[in-house]
Structure 1
């Protein structure tokens, strides 16, 4: 049993080395790592090339083609039947892959498995956690704009990925459209692990321009898929909620209070959480 792990990166020199080390530190070692450069202009590509492990493949064509294109590229390049996602600015628990593989092996009817998360800051400090409920979301729920799937923690069967490619014209909500389109096709059988095995640098996403563009893209996805699932009135109510969210983001940004959004998303961590996370950082940090 082998896994293809894909990490697309663009100007991620600050975090990429640690992300790669958290792959090397995995208790599950049967993997290939596909590092895809999306036209970086910093030292990211140099950092990727500094790792000599023969299981690591680096793809660089010099172009900035955006994330959905690179995710489809990883699916096409993957040599193995399981594909794992990870973002270049994140970390993961050293037994993440081992535990996710176990879930897929024990549940042949399941096509993908995701995890819960610890939210971390720019200096790898732990900020909080998010524990997601383990239930199958239906199209009507997904259209509301929230899901229980953490996209970069995904481990999926390659066959499912090939049946459900990313829409390459959709940046910032490519995962939202993926979940929705797969659910509408009734091709969306998944498990949510409540263990926070993924360490998510969410602070990088709490930025006004990125959030506004993301909300706008989600609105377009809702307009594209809502028919035969919800009424026009329900659709308009959902879109209104997104418009209100955009106003809130603009106000908080003007008041320099964007951190409120980050705090609102997470719950506090216990001493046990902090000890576990510290032990994971130590294991990852041992790699040179």
Structure 2
């Protein structure tokens, strides 16, 4: 490498995925931008991961093996602790980079110092590597056909009142953002990246590239597939709770830096009520027991006490207590 410290740290947390990992490594080594380190943190794999990595002779590869499995989230933080680059990107061990991924994104961060994070479209691939969604931003915000740099507030507002707009493997961010926004949280298990992107958006602008620069693999063993469902809500009950917690954490931590924060808080509260009611209704419509749906509502009310003031939440709660026949009778009695 041309400098003592690399420009980019590519961080690959891995566990027992030697087959996918080889493809991931090869996609990084094929980058048109070569000033990077490839940090692979092996979470005590029991397959051929160590032998695979050690079969490469490229000096840019840094291999670290945990003595025991410390979990996905802790391994992510382990990767961050090992990173030395000016810019950082995560590449889950089952995903791939397109050849120009680093070059295109490094160019943006070098040209625009007020941009803290750049992300992009991606190809969605299956277990065999076949494209199942071409050039998409599926599940991560609007499908825009143009590159754009947006104010952090605009991105933050959409993510607070909607969904996560940054797909983890597509994001390249400045390592020194942690000096302003802190370290990766350990209070969330599935939406820690979502919460971090919102924190970055509080302090920096955000760039989006319309070109697909990542191949994001969707398969039954992926972490994402375990927490997202193809349903009316697009998320599990557990995932919804974490999404809403991430938003509350950002609002509580940065209320003094966010414009129109009072109005935003009202919008987030309204969205919380709507999504909790929708989630419970979908659970009931999909055959989930009334007891399980009721437990979900009670958990959400304990986590977000303001839900107890919502008429719609109480109305939905009654559906989990009364039989469908009783609900119909009650509706008939209450009808004007």
Question: Shared fold by TM > 0.5?
Answer: yes
Shift of 1:56: 0.7
Does residue 1:187 correspond to 2:203, yes or no?
A: yes
Asked whether the 8 Å contact 2:184–2:192 carries over to 1, the reply is yes
Does residue 1:85 correspond to 2:98, yes or no?
A: no
Partners of 1:37 and 1:74 in 2: how far apart?
A: 10
Shift of 1:123: 0.5
1:236: which partner in 2? 273
Which structure has more RCO (C-alpha within 8 Å, separation ≥ 6)? 1
Asked whether the 8 Å contact 1:115–1:192 carries over to 2, the reply is yes
Asked whether the 8 Å contact 1:112–1:191 carries over to 2, the reply is yes
Does residue 1:47 correspond to 2:72, yes or no?
A: no
- Which secondary structure does the structure 1 equivalent of 2:64 belong to? strand
Deviation digits for residues 67-120 of structure 1 (CA, Å, limit 9, x no counterpart)? 332333222222221112211101111111111111111111111111110000
Asked whether the 8 Å contact 1:223–1:235 carries over to 2, the reply is no
Comparing 216-225 and 144-153, the one that deviates more: 216-225
Q: Where does the alignment leave 5 or more consecutive residues of structure 1 unmatched?
A: 252-288
Partners of 1:144 and 1:169 in 2: how far apart?
A: 21
The 5-angstrom pairing of residues 1-288 of structure 1 reads 2-129=7-134, 130-131=136-137, 132-133=143-144, 134=148, 135-136=150-151, 137-162=154-179, 163-183=181-201, 186-203=202-219, 204=222, 205-207=224-226, 212=236, 213-225=238-250, 228=262, 229-231=264-266, 232-243=269-280
Partners of 2:280 and 2:57 in 1: how far apart?
A: 48
- Which secondary structure does the structure 2 equivalent of 1:20 belong to? helix
CA-based RMSD of the aligned residues comes to 2.7
Shift of 1:243: 4.4
Deviation digits for residues 44-83 of structure 1 (CA, Å, limit 9, x no counterpart)? 2332222221111111122322333233322222222111
Partners of 1:176 and 1:73 in 2: how far apart?
A: 18
Asked whether the 8 Å contact 1:145–1:218 carries over to 2, the reply is no
- Which secondary structure does the structure 2 equivalent of 1:32 belong to? strand
Q: Where does the alignment leave 5 or more consecutive residues of structure 2 unmatched?
A: 1-5, 138-142, 230-234, 253-261, 289-336
- Which secondary structure does the structure 1 equivalent of 2:123 belong to? strand
Q: Structure 1 residues 3 and 169, CA, compared in 2 at 3 Å: closer, same or farther?
A: same
Shift of 1:248: 7.6
Comparing 171-180 and 201-210, the one that deviates more: 201-210
Asked whether the 8 Å contact 2:192–2:246 carries over to 1, the reply is no
Partners of 1:236 and 1:148 in 2: how far apart?
A: 21
Shift of 1:239: 3.2
Partners of 1:106 and 1:86 in 2: how far apart?
A: 23
Partners of 2:284 and 2:160 in 1: how far apart?
A: 20
Q: Which has the larger radius of gyration?
A: 2
2:316: which partner in 1? none
Partners of 2:216 and 2:191 in 1: how far apart?
A: 17
1:276: which partner in 2? none
Partners of 2:89 and 2:227 in 1: how far apart?
A: 29
- Which secondary structure does the structure 2 equivalent of 1:190 belong to? strand
Partners of 2:116 and 2:287 in 1: how far apart?
A: 38
1:262: which partner in 2? none
TM-score between both structures, scaled by the size of structure 2: 0.66
Q: Structure 1 residues 82 and 226, CA, compared in 2 at 3 Å: closer, same or farther?
A: closer
Partners of 2:210 and 2:42 in 1: how far apart?
A: 31
1:283: which partner in 2? none
Q: Structure 1 residues 219 and 245, CA, compared in 2 at 3 Å: closer, same or farther?
A: farther
